[in-house]
Structures are given as structure tokens and as C-alpha cells.
Structure 1
Amino acid sequence: MEEDFAGGATTVPDPDGPDGVRMTWNSWPRSKVEASKCVVPVAASFSPIRSSSSLTVLPYLPLRCRPPCAAVLNPFARVDFGAKIWICPICFSRNQFPSHYAGISETNYPAELYAQCSTIEYAPPHIDAAAPPPPPPVFLFVLDICLIEEELDFVKSAMRRAIGLLPDHALVGFITFGTQVLLHELGFADLTKVYVFRGTKEITKEQVLEQLGLSFAGVRHGSVAPGYPKGHQANALHPSTSVNRFLLPASDCEYTLNALLDELQLDRWPVEAGNRPLRCTGVALSVAAGLLGACIAGTGARIIALIGGPCTVGPGMIVSEDQSEPVRSHKDLDKDAAPHFHKAIKFYDNLAKQLVNQGHVLDLFASALDQVGVAEMKVVVERTGGLVVLAESFGHPVFKDSFKRIFEDGEQSLGLSFNGTLEINCSKDIKIQGIIGPCTSLEKKGALSADTIVGQGNTTSWKMCGLDRTTCLTIFFDVSPSEKSNQSGIPNPQLYIQFLTNYQNPDGQMRLRVTTVTRKWVDGSNTEFTHFCIASSYYCIYVNAFSNDTLDFLSVTLLNVKELVEGFDQETAAVVLARYISLKMEMEEEFDATRWLDRSLIRICSRFGDYRKDDPASFTLHPNFSILPQFMFNLRRSQFVQVFNNSPDETAYFRMLLNRESITNSVVMIQPSLLSYSFNSPPTPALLDVSSIALDRILLFDAYFSIVIFHGVTIAQWRNIGYQNQPEHQAFAQLLQDPQVDAQAIIRERFPVPRLVVCDQHGSQARFLLAKLNPSATYNSAHEVVPGSDIIFTDDVSLQVFCEHLQKLAVQS
């Protein structure tokens, strides 16, 4: 087995390809039994609106197949130009081209049929000239004021900067909360006017409307653009002046908001010694959801919650005000000793349903040294497609730079979009188990829905209230060939999957993006028999004894296994397994993730490795599988599996980002990358191993959530003396500068902004690096350490020992 490894994944120009789709298996087993033998689930990673410079946008409606299929015309359709007919590759229905396609021919293709247009976007013009203009984006800020003075100053400064970056037409609202919830009326600039809600008990949407005098404001529904799904409505603001009291265009209320921020003070409610502040986070979010539901249901809106501590009163409460009661830990959750946890989860689950029904998003910015309840709020953030950032302080760059990023324009912006729906159509032998990621099932069950549910399942349609250019979903499939398809003669060698994404872009326009992909079926193969023939040292003797029919079967079987192996994507497989076990750890109380991963990896190596029975030294893996054991080794040690030393909030935060990021970014979360800088060579990838540490070397470590610049002892001593400031040592100054430049380049491209740690060998913060390195040298083997390197104080096995045990177990009879 190949054991040398560089941290992270191999850099390629665009690993997701033009469609933003990556699959665990690019050649699919045709039967359910063969799919189960593959161990790794048949799954796809899909980025619905990933930006692409080559994307074609068509200014007309899509041409769809007849119901119930309703697939959109795509490059894989067969076309009879003479009869003006196209055959859908998914359901094989024959469809007549409409009259406006009359000019098509072998030399005059519509854009939908070009091979490079497997992903295409439709932007039909408004047919009704009297239709209302696109609704503006809405940002409702919900600010915690149970803070210390310094933290309040930090968050006020960040909000002023954000308000200055908002588009002039964007609608803005403002809520503050502490012991009580204060909804600020921005439409009355002459005098500060607020509506106060008690923070001790749950408040319904109807009660919010009644107190604000919005019971009869209502909304008026805009027409649905032709070609889009029914029920996907773009509601416009009601012209009622009562609504405009609370949500105003940024250009009209910028002065008022800045004046409010200048006057804003800490929560005045007294806090007794030994008590936590009374903070009613749950009620504040309920008021925000009720206000948006009354004013702009169905229009793209975001609740931006800025929270600096735990909810201690009212619904959503995670801990009491008495500081003698600790905030719940993983051990408390395991023992069911967290008295408020399940009640808070139920509250946020209901809030999630309300926001999804309204089409609104909750973004969570939590900045505190203590926990704030991210674990409880995870359900509402994920189901609405919200953003989440966890930082230590409102003054920390992780918060400040991330918060600024969501309001910026240009290439560095997130491209925030709203009101997304995803529909999936696929070949008849495939069913959909569900999705892991920031979405909610619309419970539209059909023939393509599998009985087994993974994540948001039991449907072929999902709601994404909020999505952006980096949003990524993981779709799990079930291979379910019917008896009819087995008896239909020569089966189709290709399978097809089409993703239909409706969404409201940042400009408020409705778009339909269609992505159609194809993969190859691999007929059934007896992998046990194949492995026996490959591995046996008496292979030639057995072949001589076989009949011609058996030899034909053997050659076909070998070919089929080869096709499966060559279509395997080990990076996608590692990420899909990480997301899958993270879900199972949350859903199943007794689930042992480490044991499950170990057993799965042994089965994979036993099925697809080349070896002689009971001979570990003979074991080898195909290059497409060679890095998978390393991924699993690092996944076992990662924060997704090992929750020790992490709070429930941190674990929820890590898993939310794992579930929504691209495969490339998720791989870095599982197996960080490491670059080495020295005088002797340009920056080069280094082994993610303690042996990579050297006295005269600088390491740049990227673990996605944090970036570490690590200086060897000699480099640190030279820097402390000040050699970099001397003209004759410009090479050393450049060596110190290079990892800083590269780290900043990574930070500029990433959201949330990672934490930057600059440390020296043997320093206290070196733990951020040492905790992730392969412990090939520990205190038990200190005599074998290369001079100038380091050791790790751990009893964990090294990658080498892990692989030796894996080989031994994989080749057992």
C-alpha cells in the first residue's frame, strides 16, 4: 500500500468540472446487491448555482418533456430533425418540437443541444408589462445587547460598515434584545420609537401582528413566471405605510440606523452576582420571523442574528441564569442530562418550519467565549440555508471579515440568492434516498423516492430559502432496477440525472438552472470470484481447468470490476462518508463512528485490493483507492468524529460547514494541507507528519477552520534577532513573507474567514499544528526522532501502524 502522502488533495484546475457535480462512483453498479458490495454509498455532490464563466443564459422558457417526466431538453436527447421530434433520455418519451423551433437542423442547433451546455440557465423575460419589478432583498438585523461595553462597540462598528455596503434599494429592519425584545420603528425618524415584547414566554406570529398593528396589512401575491413550478411565488411588499415603519430602503434609513447605533446602550436590566444576564434569544427570533411573515412572505429575506451569549430565559433557553449550572456538554447530552436541550430543539424546529414556509433565511453570527446555543439552532440555520460563523469575539477578524464579506460586491462576494427549489429527475432504475445539506424536503413523494431515507428524504423536490455560490448538497441514490427493466431486452448502457434549480438571484430576478449529467452502468460482477482468480497464486492452473463459458464470464467480470475501480472518486467518497457518519452520530444514540469506519474500510480494501490470501505483504491498491486509507485515518481523528475537547456548539458548527462546502474544501477539513518553505527549494507540499518539522523550515498548515504559520526553532531565533531587517539578509525576509502572503490569499477566498495562528516550534500555540500531524514519532519512540524535528505526546497509533493492521485484516481468509 502507498503510505507516503502529502496533506490535502491534488491541485487540479477545476475538480468539480463545468457542472459542479462529483460522484463517489462514476461507473454505477446495475443491481442493488452489487451496490451494497461497493460499501461506499452511490452519491453525488452538487453545487446548484456555482459561478462559471462558461455558463450560457437563454432569454426564453425551457422546453420540457411531457408529464409526469417534465425533464428539460438537454444535449443527451436524441433528435429527429426531419420529423422535428426529440426523445427524452430519461423516460424515452417522444416529444414534438413547438413551432418556434421550426428552424432547427443538423447545422442549426439550439443552445440546449450543444454538448458543452450540459449546464444552462434560463432567464425568461416578463410577459406581463404590468408585472411588478423584482422585490428588493431584505436584511433584518437582530442584535444581542447583553454584552460588555467593548464587545458592543465592536459589533456597532461592524454594523455601521455593513449598512454602508448595502444596496440603496435593500430593505433594512432592526431588532435588539436582552431581557426583552425591542423592535425599532425606522420610519419615524423624528423620535426614537420601539415596540417591546416580553422575553419570558413564547410569542406567536399572530400576537406579533396584533401588537404591531399589522393584522390587516397582508401581502399581495405576484404572478408566477411561466415555466416555473406552481407555488413558487414572488410576493411583493404591501404598500401599507404600517409595514414601511419597520422595513425601509437602506438609502432612506441609513442616517436613522447610525443614530440608533450611536445611542444604543447595554441592556439595563440588573444582573445579580453569580447570575448570567437574562437573554431572550428565542423570542427575538420569533418576533423577527413574525415581522417578516407579515410584511414580505415569499420574498427573499434574511434574519441576521448577532449573538454574544447563551439564551437564559424564554423559549430556546439552553441554560438557566444561575452560573452554578454549567452549559451542557457532550457528556451531558450522551447521558440525557441537559434539561433544556430537547425543548429548545423543538422550539427551533417549529421556527424552521415557519421560516421555510415564508421563504426566509436565518444567518447566525455567534461571538462569545462561552456557548450560545449553536447546537440547538443548527436545525433552523441548516433548513433555511443560512450562513453560520462562530468566533471568540465581535472584534476578532473571523467575525469582522466574515460579516463584511456577505455585503460586498464583486468577485469576492458570496452571491447570496433566495427562494431556491431543487428538483431531481433521473433514469427509471434509480431512486433518491435524500439529501444532506442546507435544504428542506418539500415532501413531494413520487416514483423516484426511495424507501430508505438519508437526511432530507421522501421527496424529489427540496426548498433552499438561501443559497450562494459555494452551497453544496450531497444526494444519496438507491439503485433499484425493476423487473420490467430487467426483461426489456438490451438495457441502456447510460444513466441520466437532471437537476433543476429555481432561484432568485441577487438582482431579484427568477432563474432556472438546468444541469444534466450522464454516467455509465456496469453490469453485475461477482467480486468474490474475481478476487479469488486475481489473488490465487495458482491462477494459471485454475484457468486451464475452466470451460470456455467460464473463461468468458471471468473476462467480463474482470472488465466490470476494472470499470468500477476506474470510476471511483476517493476524495468525494471520503467527504460523503464524513457527512454520512456525522448524520448518523446525531440521529443514532449508540452509533460508534470509529468502528463503523474501520469495518467499512476493511471491506473496501478486501473487495478492491489486489493480494494473496493471508499475505499482507502482497497487498496493493489501485491508485484510485490509494489515498482513501489516509483520508479515513485522518477522518477518525478529526473533529467530526472525535468530539472530546469540543463543545456541542463547536461540533455543530464544524458539521454545518462540512455539509455545505464543496468537495475540495471539505477534503481540507478532513485531511489538512501542509506546505514547506525553506532556503533550499520553493514552497513544496509536505507530508502531514511530525517528521516534516525542521529547525530551518517554515510550515503553512491549512485545516480550513484555522491556518497556522509554524516557524522552526532556528527560523524563530533569526527572526527574533532581527536578521530580516538587515539588507544583506533579504532572502530571509522574503522567506518570512512568503507564507504570510499565501495565507492571506487563502483567507481572501474563504468563508467563514479562518483563524490565523502564527507560532514557533515548542511554543504554546504549536498545538494547533501538532494535534493534526501523523504521530510517527511519539514519546515512546523519541530515540528515533530526526535531529531538529519534534515528537507528539500521544498514545494514538501512527498512519504506518494503522495501514499495517488494515492490510492484515483485509487479506484474512
Structure 2
Amino acid sequence: MADFAALEEQDGLRLSWNIWPNSRIEATKAVIPFASLYTPNKRISNLQVCEYDPVPCKTCGAILNAYAQCDFNAALWGCPFCHTRNHFPAHYRGINEQQQPAELYQEFNTIEYIQQQAKPVQPPAYIFVVDTSVAEDELRACVASLSQALTTLPEYAQVGLVTFGTHVHVHELGFAECAKSYVFQGQREYKREDVVQQLGLGSAMPARKGGPGQPALPTQGSPGSRFILPISECEFTINAVLDELQRDAFPTLSEFRPSRCTGTAIQVAASLMGSALPPGTCAARLMLFVGGPSTEGAGKVVEKELSEPIRSHEDLAKDRAAHYKKARRFFDGIALQLVQQQHSLDVFACALDQVGLAEMKPVVDMSGGMVVQTDTFLNPVFKESFKRVFLPPGAPGSLDIASNATFEVIPSRGVKIAGLLGPAAAIERKSSIIADTPVGIGGTNQWKLAGLDASTSLCTFYEIVPPSKDAAAQGPHAAQQFFVQFITRYLHADGSHRVRVTTFTRRWSDGSNLQELMAGFDQEAAAVVVARLATFKMETEEDFDATRWIDRTLIRLASRFGDYRANDPSSFTLAENMAFYPQFMFNLRRSQFVQVFGNSPDETANCRLSLNKETTQEATVMIQPSLFSYGLGEAQPISEPVLLDVTSIAADRILLLDSYFYVVVFHGSSIAQWRKEGFHLNPDHAHFKELLEAPKKDASAILQRRFPVPRLVDCDQNGSQARFLLARLNPSSTYQSNSTMSAEVIMTDDVSLSVFTEHLTKLATQS
């Protein structure tokens, strides 16, 4: 796994299988899909950036790369994907074997180009959509964070403000004489044309050119400039509006929920952005700050009466959620609109109750937006996460947000593109390289990504097809290996249009040689691929039993690749690079992605959005958390990874659990008692003070590098919050255990990993 992780650091790429069988039948027997996990905007330390345009193949569009067969004397290069011979461009005439461009070196399999003839772009735009149907202290906390964000943004960045409660208010920031806004009824559903007409955005004027090296600026007289302006031109106005912002004026009775038209506000703001900011002209984000469920208009998720509870997973399963399907259809339409406009939706949901994130999930997912979910705008999770959105590129903790991207996959012969799972939307395209059976977002080999950051990871599925008859005619080189190229065209945070190209090769194998196939198995990547596919099936297929599907897949894999004697479970063994895969599946079937009991639909939606977006390493932590133990050493605290098992709990240990969504610092009973008695305050026990601080330092490092910022739980053994740790541990010691009890007993009926493995080996070895 360390080798595959090193490859990910080099190119941002992981594959579930790194050696592929050369026949469709053997590929089907492999059980685990052939898929790649690729991070197109990953920070790469030695990334080569070329200030010239890439050289494409005239037939398939693939970019010149290190695997091309070059004839420098004839100034020709052969495309490894379609085997077309292409001429080098005029400015490449002087190259030879001693002087080659960077893209012809295999150490630069990932390379980035800055396009020279790109269209000018406008400055980035942020439209803040603020919920005013919240408590006064919540509104003030939200306004304070917005005001702080305005001070960190560059003066040329464009901003707009929309507030909503019972009605939607679009604030005209270009009118400085007094506070002026346009009001839309919260109960109505508006078409884009209605919003454009009411705001007077029907006529559009061209942008005026900026200074040397500066992006183009909106024309003063253009209709959109009244609502979306550079900060330098509206800083006083927007700060005055925020300072005077009041709670929704319409009163709320004690037995009713507040009037809140979230869906209408998003619809109006999206239409405003679409008219004032033409597609592809700038990086634009619609930022929603919401503090409760929508109770008015389109996208409503619950009635105002508190007597009607908000929908649960059981209500969704039994079709008892009266508003769910209608709201989902409404937000599906908003998602298509934002994708067409190339704009992103970010949701900052800060409420004790649900806000309707489950209904809004397709908008966030398809537009490449971000979600921060917490209980209040006063929570440090919201404050710190929101700050990091506006950090400049390259700064510590920066998200390196890019926008207006397209992602294209080009395979060589013998491979077809089945589909993609990730924060993207399909671009309709017909080609012979597209598989007949789609997986995820299929039917194409090109996708739109309105927004992507440094951790956005895309899972692409492949279909192996029989090699063509003329494959051998291309030489043994073509018959022994295949190639895949990723081309990501995007708008960089500095305003330049860039093209990142990653080209990789893997080799074919005779599918009957199981040892050779197993040598290329990446169990971490495979676990993430299966997890994404399982959650996708749970949301798109009716009556899909994810637990049974995961179990059957694992049994088939173990039966196919395990080493055993028929009907002898004790003889069963798995190869080293498959040994941890059953453990990943054990934790996946117990995780919040599959087991929704105890979680709200909003919490489940948030977890699945993160799984569908994050890198392999981070997604692996979501599936199987990492656990570290800290104990007293002779000179300094001893830190070591330990099993994710209840037996790892000891009275004289501190445990650090990283489960991605929250980080737990768990003190054993003796450690907690010594701390309460103040031993760490005594200079004679300085080593004990170091022991208490060590896990907190490591936890702080995790919080600083991850987005959204995880929740930090500091608890003691036998305390109420110890449940955050116990829920993720293997229950090897329960109230039903007959063996010697550990330091902790988990009150659960779940089977332990040993029982799970015992059943797996029994079923896998059956003849």
C-alpha cells in the first residue's frame, strides 16, 4: 500500500487493479471493478508547468506525451492511443534526442500547460445568500464571519448579497444613497426569465478592459453591475447592509417553524448569477448560509406546524415524506442550471435541526460545491472552515480552488469508458470508446466540473473489451500494455486558463494467472471504489441491500483469489496485498455510509458527499478510522498505531481516533484521574504533561489540514462522549463475550471482526 500511496503523491492517481486481464470474461471474474481514482487539481511538488499550448493528436485529441513514438528526423510523432502519425508544430522543429520538450520525459507523466490564446476572464464572484429566519445571536455570528471574509478578499473580487426569510431580498449594492433591495415572494416559483425581468437584467453590455495583467471588469452601465460589484466599489454599501441586517420581520408563533424560502432564494440567486456573470467568464460561487429547514415555496421540506416532524430515513424508505420528491425534482432543475452556467453552490448548514441538505445534494454534487454542517454559526467548525475558503493559493491550509473545468478521459485500444462517480456532470458525447453499459455518470468520456479544489477526486470506471485483430500488427509494445490519458482544462485561481495532462500505462496479463493479477491489486483504492459504488446504488436503485451486496462481493473475491483447500476454512489465506480488504469491508458495512440508523438524511447526505469527493487516503480514513495510542515512556511519550479494537483501550493510555468527520482524544481512566488530581501541574511530573499534550498537538495538525474542519471531541473513559470512540471500534469484547473481558465492554449485538472473518472463510471455501 505504501508503494501505491507514493504513486498517488507523484500523479494523484490510484487504480483498483494495476494489472488488467486481456479478456472480458477474466475481467468479469475479477469481481472488483476496474477503476481509477484521480485528483486533477492535486498539489504536486515537482509539477512541470509549461508556458505554451499542448500539442494534440489530430484524430483522437490526446496530448503529446512520453509514450509517443517520435521520429525527430521526419518531425513526426505516433499517438499511442489511436496510432495516428502527427507532425510536430513549427516551434518544435529544433528538438532532437538530446533536446526534448518536458512532456516527452516519463518523470513528467503529469504536466500542466498555460494556454496562451485564452479569453480574458472577469474577477472571481461570490454571492452570499443569508438566512434571516434565525435567532439574533446566530444572525450576528453569521454577519461577523461575512464581514471578516470581505476583509480577506482582494479588492477586485466581485460580491453580491441576497437575504431570505418569508421573502427573498436581492440587495442593489450599486445604489449607495440608501439601502435598496428587490423583493420576491417566498411562496412563488420563479423562472429565470421572471427574475431577469424583475431585476432589469434584460440588456447586457460588454465588459470594459482592465489594466495590463488585470482581468476585465464589468461595465459601469451593465445591468449586472448594480447587484454584483468589485469590493473596491461597494465595500461601504455591503458592510452597511450587513450591519443593519435584521431578523425576518414576520413573526413566528411558538407552535410553528419560521417562514423560510430557501429554494426560492437559491433559484433567484442562481438566475441573477446566470444573467450578470455569463458562463465561463469567471469563478463564481453561490454561498448559502442557512439555519433551519425550508418551510415556504419551491424546495420546501416540511410544513410550518411543529406537530409535523421533519422526514427521517424511515419516512423516505416508506414513501411517507410528503415534500421530498417534489423538492428533489426542483433542486435537480437548479443543478442543471448551475452546471450550464458553470457556477458552484456551497452550503453552510448551521442548525440543530435538518435544513434539507438531502434534497439539495444533487446541486452541491453536480456543481462541485462544498458543505459545512454544524449546529450553530458560533461553532469553531463553521468559523475556521469558512476562513479557509478565502485563503490565497499556496498559503498553508489553502483549498487551491479552481473552476470552469472539463475532464476528459482517452483510453487506448482494448479499454472503454464506462462512467464516473464524483462531483461532476456529463457532457453529451458519442464515441466508440464509450461503453454500452454505464456505471455512475456514464454515456460519455467528458464531464464538467464547475468547481474543484486540491482534494477533489474523480472515480472513473473502465470496461475491458477484446483486443482488435490488428493489435498484434502494432507491435509487441502495443500488445503488452495499454494507456490512459486524463485531460483537465480549467480556470486557475490566478486567472489563467490551464490544461493538466496525466498519462499512465499499465500492462495486460493473462487473466488465468491469478498471482500476477493479485500483484497489482490496490486494496485501499478498491475499498474506496466499492464504497462509492455502493452508496451510488443505494440512492439510485430501489430495494438495494448494500450490506448483502458488499458481503456477496467479498465472498466472490475471497473464493476467487484466496488460497485454500475446498471445504477447509482453516486452510484459507489471502495474499499480503489483499489481506486488509476484508477488514475494510467489515468497517464499511458498519459505517454511516451504509447503516443509516441513528443518522438523519442530512447527515447521511453530507457523509456521502465527502466520500464521493475526497482522495483515496482520506476516504480510507472515513471507511476505517485510524487509531493511535500514547503511553508513558522513559524519556518522552510513546506514540504508535494500534488496532481499531476495543482491546486497545487501557487505563494508562491516551487514544487518538481520526474518523475524518471527527477527531477523538480519549483518556484512559487512570490518565483521567491523574489529570483531575493535577499531576500535570507538578514540575516533578513534566513527562505526564507532555503525554497529555502530545495527542492534542497531533489532533490540531489534523484539524489544520482538513476541510471541512472536523469536530474535536475530548473525552474520558466511561464519559458520555466516549461513545464517539466506542461506536467505531471492533466489538471483540461485548456483554455476550465468554472470553476474558478487556478494559472496556461494548454493549452491542454486532458481530466482531473475528466472527465476520470466520463466516467469510467458511462461505468462500465451500465447494
Q: How does 1:124-143 map to 2 (within 5 A)?
A: 124-126=115-117, 132=120, 134-143=121-130
Which residue among 51, 54, 57 is the counterpart of 2:43?
Answer: 51
| 1:627-646 pair list within 5 angstroms | 627-646=580-599
Please tell me whether residue 349 in structure 1 is matched to residue 301 in structure 2.
Answer: no
1:794–1:219: structure 2 CA closer, same or farther, 3 Å change rule? farther
Say whether the 8 Å CA contact 2:7–2:13 is kept in structure 1.
no
**C-alpha separation in 1, matches of 2:674 and 2:4:** 36
Alpha-carbon separation, structure 1, partners of 2:6 and 2:379? 32
SS in 2 for 1:44: strand
Classify 1:12/1:575 alpha carbon distance in 2 versus 1 (closer, same or farther; 3 Å).
closer
Q: Pick one of 157, 164, 167 that aligns with 1:177.
A: 164
DSSP 3-state at the match of 1:338:
coil
> How far apart, CA to CA, are the structure 2 residues paired with 1:393 and 1:240?
40
Residue deviations 1:228-261 (CA, integer Å, cap 9, x gap): xxxxxx9974553432111111233222222212
Of the candidates 411, 420, 425, which is equivalent to residue 410 of structure 2?
425
Residue 585 (str. 1) matches residue 538 (str. 2): yes
Aligned-residue offset at 1:482: 5.1
Give the letter aligned to residue 683 of structure 1.
Answer: S
Structure 2 equivalent of residue 780 of structure 1: 736
Query: Could you tell me whether the CA contact under 8 Å between 1:48 and 1:472 is conserved in 2?
Result: yes
The DSSP-based 3-state class of the residue aligned with 1:683 is: strand
User: What is the DSSP-based 3-state SS (H/G/I as helix, E as strand, rest coil) of the residue aligned with 1:457?
Assistant: coil
- What is the Cα deviation at residue 98 of structure 1? 2.4
Describe the shift of the 1:564–1:791 C-alpha distance in structure 2 as closer, same or farther (beyond 3 A): same
- Cα distance in 1 between the residues matched to 2:206 and 2:311: 42
Aligned to 1:554: none
1:794 aligned partner = 748
Asked whether 1:266 is paired with 2:257, we answer no
Q: What is the CA distance between 1:488 and its match in structure 2?
A: 5.3
Structure 1 position 17, deviation (Å): 3.4
- Corresponding letter in the other structure for 2:126: F
Amino acid of the structure 1 residue aligned with 2:440 = G
CA distance in 2, matches of 1:487, 1:503: 37
Structure-2 change in CA distance of 1:637 and 1:385 (3 Å): same
Secondary structure (helix, strand or coil) at the match of 2:327 reads helix
- Is 1:731–2:693 an aligned residue pair? no
Which residue of the partner structure matches residue 87 of structure 2? 96
**Alignment-derived partner of residue 324 in structure 1:** 307
Q: What amino acid is aligned across from residue 107 of structure 1 in structure 2? A: Q
Once the two structures are superposed, what CA deviation does each residue of 1:375-434 show, in whole Å capped at 9, x if it has no partner?
100001110000111111111111111111101121311011110001111112111111
Match of 2:237 among 256, 265, 289: 256
- What is the Cα deviation at residue 221 of structure 1? 12
Deviation at 1:218, TM superposition (A): 5.7
Higher mean alpha-carbon deviation, 412-421 vs 487-496, is at: 487-496
**Contact 2:27 2:511 survives alignment (8 Å):** no
Structure 2, unmatched stretches of 5+, are 210-214
1:227 corresponds in structure 2 to none
Matched, 1:60 2:52: yes
1:405 paired to 2:375: no
Instruction: Report percent identity of matched pairs.
Output: 52
Task: Give per-residue Cα distances to partners, 1:673-711, cap 9 Å, x unaligned.
Answer: 000001036110011000000011000000000000000
Contact 1:279 1:310 in 2 (8 A): yes
Residues 208 and 219 in structure 2, CA contact (< 8 A), matched pair in contact too: no
Which has the higher mean CA deviation after the structures are superposed, 78-87 or 342-351? 78-87
1:55–1:155 CA distance, 2 compared to 1 (3 A) = same
Amino acid at match of 1:195: Y
Displacement after TM superposition at 1:10 (Å): 6.3
- Contact 1:40-1:573 at 8 Å conserved across structures: yes
Cα deviations across residues 32-56 of structure 1 (Å, max 9, x unaligned)?
Answer: 1111100000000010111112111
Letter in 1 for 2:628: L
2:184 to 197, 211, 214: 197
Counterpart secondary structure, 2:577: coil
Query: CA separation of 1:236/1:498 partners in 2, compared to 1, >3 Å: closer, same or farther?
Result: farther
Say yes or no: does 1:278 pair with 2:232: no
**What is the DSSP-based 3-state SS (H/G/I as helix, E as strand, rest coil) of the residue aligned with 2:96?**
coil
Q: Which amino acid aligns with 1:628?
A: Y
The separation in 1 between residues aligned to 2:517 and 2:533, in whole angstroms, is 21
Contact 1:178 1:279 (8 Å CA) reproduced: yes
Task: Map 1:657-806; keep pairs closer than 5 Å.
Answer: 657-680=610-633, 682-781=638-737, 784-786=740-742, 789-806=743-760
1:189–1:256 contact (8 Å) kept in structure 2:
yes
The equivalences for 1:144-543 within 5 A come to 144-217=131-204, 237=218, 239-298=220-279, 299=281, 300-409=283-392, 410-481=395-466, 483-484=468-469, 492-525=479-512
Q: Is the 8 A contact 2:293 2:356 kept in 1?
A: yes
Residues 782, 791 of structure 1: 8 Å contact kept: no
* Superposed displacement of residue 483, structure 1: 4.9
Q: Which letter does structure 1 place at the counterpart of 2:75?
A: K
- Alignment deviations for residues 43-90 of structure 1 (CA, whole Å, 9 cap, x no partner): 0001011111211111111111112x0111000111112222111111
> Contact (CA 8 Å) 2:491, 2:497: kept in 1 or not?
yes
Contact 2:252–2:258 (CA under 8 A) maintained in structure 1: yes
How is 1:567-646 mapped onto 2 (pairs within 5 angstroms)? 567-646=520-599
The verdict on how the C-alpha distance between 1:90 and 1:241 changes in structure 2, with shifts beyond 3 A counting, is closer
- The answer on whether the counterparts of 1:237 and 1:295 sit within 8 Å (CA) in structure 2 is no
Mapped to 2, the partners of 1:216 and 1:458 lie a distance apart of: 37
CA contact (8 A) 1:495 1:520 kept: yes
Contact 2:4 2:522 in 1 (8 A): no
Cα distance in 2, alignment partners of residues 523 and 239 from structure 1 = 66
What residue in structure 2 maps to residue 549 of structure 1? none
Distance 1:122 1:142 in 2: 36
Q: What code does the residue aligned with 1:46 have?
A: Y
Residue type of the alignment partner of 2:348? F
How far the C-alpha of 1:637 sits from its partner, in A, is 0.2
SS in 2 for 1:187: coil
Would you say the 8 A contact 1:427–1:495 is kept in 2? Answer: yes
Instruction: Summarize the Cα distance change of 1:690–1:11 in structure 2 as closer, same or farther, 3 Å threshold.
Output: farther
Q: Which moved more, 1:81-90 or 1:462-471?
A: 81-90
Q: Give, in whole Å, the separation in 2 of the partners of 1:64 and 1:260.
A: 51
State the distance in 2 between where 1:256 and 1:809 align: 69
Code of the residue aligned with 1:803 in structure 2: it is: T
State the match for 2:98 in structure 1.
Answer: 107
TM-score by length of 2: 0.96
Q: Match of 1:17, as an amino acid?
A: E
Distance 1:514 1:722, change over 3 A: same
Report the secondary structure of 2:10's partner residue.
coil
**Which residue identity is paired with 2:166?**
T
Q: Distance in 2 between matches of 1:666 and 1:65?
A: 35
**Partner Cα distance (2:2, 2:35) in 1:** 21
**Compared CA separation, residues 449 and 126, structure 1 to 2 (3 A):** closer
Q: Distance in 1 between matches of 2:169 and 2:377?
A: 21
Q: Quickly say closer, same or farther: Cα 1:523–1:392, change in 2 above 3 A.
A: same
The letter for the 2-side match of 1:104 is I
Contact map agreement 2:160 2:228 (CA 8 A) in 1 = yes
**Distance in structure 2 (CA, Å) of the matches to 1:684 and 1:507:** 41
Distance 1:105 1:201, change over 3 A: same
> 5+ unaligned residues in a row in structure 1: which ranges?
1-8, 223-233, 526-559
Does the CA-based 8 Å contact 2:511-2:517 persist in structure 1? no
* TM superposition shift of 1:153: 1.6
- What is the DSSP-based 3-state SS (H/G/I as helix, E as strand, rest coil) of the residue aligned with 2:130? strand
